[in-house]
Amino acid sequence: MREFLKTRVAVAIIGFLVGALAVGAAWGIVSVTATPPAPSPGPVAGPEPSSSPSPRPSSTTAPDVPTLSSGCPDATETVSTADELHSALESASAGDVIVLEHGTYLGNFVATESGTADAPITLCGSAESVLDGGNWKGDYVFHLDGAQYWHLLGFAVTNGQKGVMADTTVGSVIEGLSVFHIGDEAIHLRNFSTDNAVIGNDITDTGLRRPKFGEGVYIGTAESNWCDISNCEPDNSDRNLVADNTIYGTTSESVDIKEGTSGGVLRGNSFDGSSIIDADSWVDVKGNDWLIEGNTGVNSPLDGFQTHEILDGWGTRNVFRDNVATVNGPGFGFSLTPERDNVVACSNSASQAGEGFSNVTCAG
């Protein structure tokens, strides 16, 4: 069982490192076939690349997403009540596997103990194992509070102000959860949380308390909150992987990537922005050196993918490639404001975008 856990987390960490290399090398040359744009709002592929020199996306292989686990590892402890779960979290140690039996666990749950890279702590259940915060105006349903090397696997999270909050966690995997009916955002990595993976989760029905805070996945901290969260320093929640998640029914962005974060990978996710009422895109990238690759989106109130420069020096050197944007909205598939050193590869495509493919010329 511990060999299984060691292999899973090792694969995730390798994925993060390769992702950082992919973006760091994003100014190499790749040969990509582009199709001239069709008239908007019909299908729009990447326009012809500019003949002038411009940064090009790298041909470096994108990071491997860890293979989704088929079930829980062998339990070291099985719990069936909220009290038992609280106790198990308090006494957890490296290599433990806490398995949730089917049922509802009412309360707010906090993990402060840490595993190791070789022996993470696993909390595992099925969609019928439900952590219920009791009130979407209340607290976090599950909080990794300084706890490192955890694997959250397979269970459901509902009815809290925030679903899963991770503060200062390292090397943790949040995988295969069903997160729904949440007051603000569903999953949030912040306060220098690095080298983590958020993979294969089903996220919906957020923003019940404040629609503007109803993101699906939120990475980092807004500059306006740095003094509250990260000691007035940029929240360098770096090298995180967000992959293969299904995100819909959110009132704000599917994924919000904040200034201060760097070197992450957003890959293979599916977005539906039909419920967005307090944002104007599926993805908003305000960090640096992110690779945004192979995602698909439908139905946005304005644009599909955006970058913004909230603070000088941030919102640059991000690479968009192989994404498919069916916008069904009045804006662009890819809107970079400003362009800076961001790259939109011609391998992206956009359709039903009122303004067309992008406000910048594609590269490659």
Question: Could you report the per-residue pLDDT of 24-50, keeping only the tens digit for each?
Answer: 444 343 333 333 333 334 444 555 554
The mean pLDDT of 312-339, rounded to a whole number, is 97
The pLDDT assigned to 92 comes to 98
Percent of the chain exceeding pLDDT 90 equals 80
Q: Smallest Cα–Cα separation from 63: which of 231, 266, 353? A: 266
Q: Smallest Cα–Cα separation from 361: which of 347, 343, 337? A: 343
Question: Above 50 in pLDDT, residue 7?
Answer: no
The mean pLDDT of 163-181, rounded to a whole number, is 98
Burial class (CB in 10 A: 0-12, 13-18, 19+), 231: exposed
Q: Smallest Cα–Cα separation from 15: which of 203, 292, 243? A: 243
Question: Above 60 in pLDDT, residue 65?
Answer: no
Does a structural domain hold residue 102?
Answer: no
The pLDDT assigned to 334 comes to 98
Does a structural domain hold residue 82?
Answer: no
Does a structural domain hold residue 23?
Answer: yes
Read off the pLDDT band of 71 (50, 70, 90). Answer: confident
Does a structural domain hold residue 348?
Answer: yes
CB atoms < 10 A from the CB of 228, how many? 11
Q: How far apart, in Å, are the Cα atoms of 330 and each of 14, 46, 295, 326?
A: 39, 18, 20, 11
Read off the pLDDT band of 199 (50, 70, 90). Answer: very high
Does a structural domain hold residue 339?
Answer: yes
CA atoms within 13 A on the CB side of 16: 25
Domain limits for position 165: 2-77+136-358
Q: 218 with 198: CB under 8 angstroms?
A: no
Q: 66 with 199: CB under 8 angstroms?
A: yes
Does a structural domain hold residue 127?
Answer: no
Which residues lie across from 345 on neighbouring strands? 363
pLDDT in tens, 205-215: 999 999 999 99
The pLDDT assigned to 1 comes to 42
Mean pLDDT over each residue of the chain, to the nearest integer: 87
pLDDT in tens, 10-31: 444 444 444 444 444 443 433 3
The pLDDT assigned to 68 comes to 57
List the 332-337 sheet strands across, edge first.
109-111, 140-145, 162-167, 187-190, 217-219, 255-257, 283-285, 305-308, 332-337, 356-358
**Separation of alpha carbons 69 and 67, rounded Å:** 6
CA atoms within 13 A on the CB side of 330: 2
307-332: b or e for each residue (b if 16 or more CB lie within 10 Å)?
Answer: bbbeeeebbbbbbbbbbbbbbbbebb
The pLDDT assigned to 364 comes to 87
Question: Above 80 in pLDDT, residue 69?
Answer: no
Give the single-character DSSP code of 73.
Answer: P
Domains in the chain, number: 1
Which is higher by pLDDT, 34 or 199?
199
Give the pair of three-digit tokens for residue 97.
Answer: 């596997």
Does a structural domain hold residue 86?
Answer: no
pLDDT in tens, 117-135: 999 999 999 999 999 999 9
Q: 245 with 270: CB under 8 angstroms?
A: yes
